[in-house]
Amino acid sequence: MELHQLRYFVAVVEEGGFSRAAARLHVAQPSLSQQIAKLEQELGQPLLDRLPRGVIPTDAGRRFYERARRILAEVADATRCVADCREPLQGRLVVGAIPTIAPGLLPRLLSPFSEQHPGVELEVVEDLTERLLRRLEEGELDLALVSSVEVESAVHVESLGHEPLGVLLPRNHPLARHRQIHWDDLKEEKALVLSELHCLGRQVHDLCKARDVRWQVWFQAAHLGTIIEMVAHGIGVSLAPWSFGALAEARGCRLLPLSAPQPRREINLLLHNLRYRTRAALAFRALARQCAVALGWRNDSSE
C-alpha cells in the first residue's frame, strides 16, 4: 500500500468521480483508476461502487476513507514538523475563516504576515463554522477564525476578544444623522438578516428576541456582502460587525453604534491540540492577538 494510493482514493471519494479526482490531483485518469484497482485488490474487497453518474464508497470504503484521511493528516503533520526547522520561516500555512469574519479581519492579517514572512505559502479557506471545524479536526487547516463555537476536547479555543455589532443604514436614512441608534428605533424598520446557517444570523436573531425588537424580517441573505449592497440601495437596515465599517462606508452605508447594552460577538481562534504547531501558525496567532488589541476587542477578561 502506497501513500499516493491513499491520496487518490480520498480524492475520488471527496470528488465523487475519477475524472474530477484526477483533475484535482493533476494526474492522468487511467493511472488513477489503475492505482485504485490495485488498492482494492490488495485489500481483498471493493472500496467503491461505480455508478453511471459517479462513484460512492462501499461500507468498507467508508471505513477505509476515515482512516486514510487520518494517515495522510499524520504524514502532513510530520512533514510540517521537519520543515519548521528551516530558517527563515518557511512552509505552508492554511487558515480558515467564516464569511462574517474573513472580509473584515483577514486583510488586516494576511498582508502584514506575508510581508514579515515571505517564505511562508499562505492558503485561505472561507467556509461555515461547522465545515471549518471538521477540516481543522481532520488536519486540513492549521488554524481557524470563528465566532461562538462548541468543540471537542481535541480543539483549542482561544478568545481574541469581543467585536461590537452596529446598525447598518443607507447613507441618506433619517437615522444616519444620529450618533448612536436606540433599540426602539429599529422596531419599524425592514430587516435584512443573514440566514441562520451563519452563526451571526443566529446571534442577531437571539439579540433581537432578548430585546423584544420585532422588526420586519424582509430578506434573508447567504452573504453579508449582499446585505451591504441592499442596504446601500435603501431596501432595509441590518446589524453588522464593526470590522465591516470601512467596507460599508465605501458602498454607501453608515455603520453606527447601538446604545447600551451594546451587542458584541466573541471572536475565537481555533488550533488543534494534537497537531504540531508550526512557527508560522504561532506567528499568525501572535499577529491576530495584536490586531485584536489594536481593534479594541481584547481586554483584561479576554487574556
Give DSSP secondary structure letters for 37-99.
Answer: HHHHHHHTS--EEEETTEEEE-HHHHHHHHHHHHHHHHHHHHHHHHHTTSSS--EEEEEEE-T
Length of the chain: 303
pLDDT score recorded for residue 300: 43
Domain 91-161+265-302 has CATH 1.10.3720.10: no
β-strand pairing of 253-257 with 155-170 = antiparallel
Fold (topology level) of 3-83: Arc Repressor Mutant, subunit A (1.10.10)
pLDDT score recorded for residue 274: 78
**Splitting the chain (303 residues) into consecutive groups of 10 residues, what average pLDDT does each group show?**
90 89 90 92 90 87 88 78 69 92 92 92 93 86 91 86 94 92 86 86 83 76 91 92 92 91 91 85 93 79 41
Domain(s) labelled CATH 3.40.190.10 in the chain stretch across 91-161+265-302
Domain(s) labelled CATH 1.10.10.10 in the chain stretch across 3-83
Nearest to 155 by CA among 128, 129, 183, 194: 129
Domain(s) labelled CATH 3.40.190.290 in the chain stretch across 162-264
pLDDT score recorded for residue 288: 95
pLDDT score recorded for residue 85: 65
pLDDT score recorded for residue 87: 65
Chain Cα centroid distance, residue 83:
25
CA distances from 285 to 38, 96, 113, 280, 292 (A): 43, 12, 10, 9, 11
With vertex at residue 63, the alpha carbon angle to CA 2 and CA 276, rounded to the nearest 5 degrees, is 65
Coil, strand or helix at 127: coil
| CATH code for the structural domain at 162-264 | 3.40.190.290
